[in-house]
Amino acid sequence: MAKYSNDENMNAYLDNIKDNADELTLCHALPGTYYQGCDPPAWIESTVYTIGDVVRPATRAGKVYECTTGGTSKSGAEPAWDTTPGQTTVDNTVTWTCRINCAQVSVAITSANFTGPVNGDANGRKLTVNAQNDQDIFVTDDVIYCALLDGTNKVVLFVTSTTTQTLTSGNKANLPAWDIEVSDPS
């Protein structure tokens, strides 16, 4: 039985990634959810937060916090964050839900950070994620995965495994260019 897919179908998949990815992260575990892969901004006192906003404590500890009840954060010091995933922290009129996080390096990206889609190396179509150099490492651990995230819709768009290497907090990382390929049906 012959199979065929128009290049435009494969381009649509790759264009969705290109047009919606706004963050590239290196992670020490597979980020199955947006919260596991993202690097949100630090919590700020006396700030209005809405449902779905995500923050991290000033001291990174592998957790991020999703706003599940909107309001205004307290003035002064950060709240005493509950570090049990799924549990909540009340912060003045904001309620935060604890989420696991595995990001080590984060790069803000746009569609300009991609090349393609173009013909694939063997067949099909490919999208190249351009190299990113001198990126801050903020967590020491072995990097295993690279994720492309859509922060607007809070979704993971694509994850690939990487060559395992130890990254050290405070150093810089260079991310080589890499491809996402969609093969012709076989």
Residue-wise pLDDT for 65-75, tens only, equals 999 999 999 99
**111 and 178 in one domain?**
yes
Domain enclosing residue 63, as ranges: 40-100
Question: Model pTM?
Answer: 0.93
Query: Same domain, yes or no, for 136 and 44?
Result: no
Residue 175 amino acid letter: L
Task: Give 181's Cβ-side CA count (13 Å radius).
Answer: 11
pLDDT tens by residue, 37-81: 999 999 999 999 999 999 999 999 899 999 999 999 999 999 999
Q: Above pLDDT 70, what percent of the chain? A: 100
Cα–Cα dist 104/134, whole Å? 14
Q: Which of 74, 100, 126 is the last residue of a domain?
A: 100
Residue 125 exposed, middle or buried by CB count within 10 Å (0-12, 13-18, 19+): buried
d(CA 169, CA 154): 26
**Count of domains in the chain?**
2
Task: Kindly report, residue by residue over 86-132, the tens digit of the pLDDT.
Answer: 999 999 999 999 999 999 999 999 999 999 999 999 899 999 999 99
Cβ–Cβ < 8 Å for 55, 64 = yes
Residues 49 and 139 in one domain: no
Q: Based on the domain organization, do 142 and 79 belong to the same domain?
A: no
Residue 64: name the closest of 170, 132, 151 by CA: 151
Q: What's the confidence (pLDDT) of residue 4?
A: 86
Judge if 114 and 91 occupy the same domain. Answer: no
107 and 156 both lie in a single domain: yes
- 3 state DSSP class of 74: coil
The predicted structure's pLDDT at residue 2:
78
Establish if 2 belongs to a structural domain. no
**Are 17 and 107 in the same domain?**
yes
Structural domain contains residue 1: no
Domain end call among 65, 100, 135: 100
Q: Residues 58, 118: one domain?
A: no
Q: Please check whether residues 108 and 30 belong to one and the same domain.
A: yes
